[in-house]
Amino acid sequence: EAGVAQSPRYKIIEKRQSVAFWCNPISGHATLYWYQQILGQGPKLLIQFQNNGVVDDSQLPKDRFSAERLKGVDSTLKIQPAKLEDSAVYLCASTRRQGQETQYFGPGTRLLVL
Amino acid sequence: DQQVKQNSPSLSVQEGRISILNCDYTNSMFDYFLWYKKYPAEGPTFLISISSIKDKNEDGRFTVFLNKSAKHLSLHIVPSQPGDSAVYFCAARKDFGNEKLTFGTGTRLTIIP
């Protein structure tokens, strides 16, 4: 079974630029999560999707961050405009169904904002 | 507000000995706890979990202990192997059906051959 795929793996941009990350969850997994992991901290949930609907986006900075999962499969996370403090690893995870405890993580996208 | 805390940023253990990683939490609503292991340039991978109705869960070389009254859990690895060198994250969840995980800051475990 293929794991969670993410691209790009690395991205360097200047502040005020825009950036987008892509995630393809494990086939058949209905629930998808985006996390932000700042250096020295644990992952922090940004948004959770169940199929193509948002379940929880309470910690998503909506003035600059947006995410979508239009067809209930892959997802994109966008930052516009980026700030220096957005430098982090952005992790995508998925589970087969809501309520399943084990989240499977992708390798992450490392973002550096200069 | 750090609801899940891992106070040891790093730990070094001799190969073959026991590794003990600790985690404390403050939110009494947490009822399910997980440990994830992370290698460099990879995403975290699930290791072991425990429900609040138990005080111990064992899986091979890995055992997790939960002390609800102290709001403390620990991960024991016996015997420690070089491949266990990684960052270990403790995570907690409030109730079944609400999968939002709150992670600790991680402990970097180094196994010395």
- Per-run averaged pLDDT (10 residues), chain A, 114 residues: 91 97 94 94 93 91 94 94 97 82 90 97
Of B11, B37, B35, B7, the closest CA to residue B111 belongs to B11
Q: Do A107 and B42 touch (CB under 8 A)?
A: yes
Task: Return the pLDDT at A17.
Answer: 97
pLDDT recorded at residue B68: 94
Dist. CA B61–CA B102, nearest whole Å: 25
Shortest CA gap A58–chain B (Å): 11
Handedness of CA B84, B43, A41, B71 (dihedral sign): negative
In angstroms and rounded to an integer, the radius of gyration of the C-alpha atoms of chain B is 13
Rounded Cα gap, residues A31 and A41, in angstroms: 24
Cβ–Cβ under 8 Å, residues A40 and A50: no
| Contacts of B39 by beta carbon, 8 Å cutoff, 6+ apart | B86
**CB burial readout B91-109, b (16+ within 10 A) else e:** bbbeeeebbbbbbbbbbeb
Report the pLDDT value the prediction gives residue B94, as an integer from 0 to 100: 84
Stretches in chain B below the pLDDT threshold 70: 1, 95-98
**Token pair in block for residue A33:** 């999560």
**Residues of B (28-67) whose Cβ lies below 8 Å from A:** 32, 34, 36, 41-46, 49
Long-range contacts of B45-52 (CB under 8 A, 24+ apart): B45/A104, B45/A105, B46/A102, B46/A103, B46/A104, B47/B75, B47/B88, B48/B75, B49/A101, B49/A102
Q: Does A53 touch chain B (CB under 8 A)?
A: no
CB contact under 8 A, B4 and A42: yes
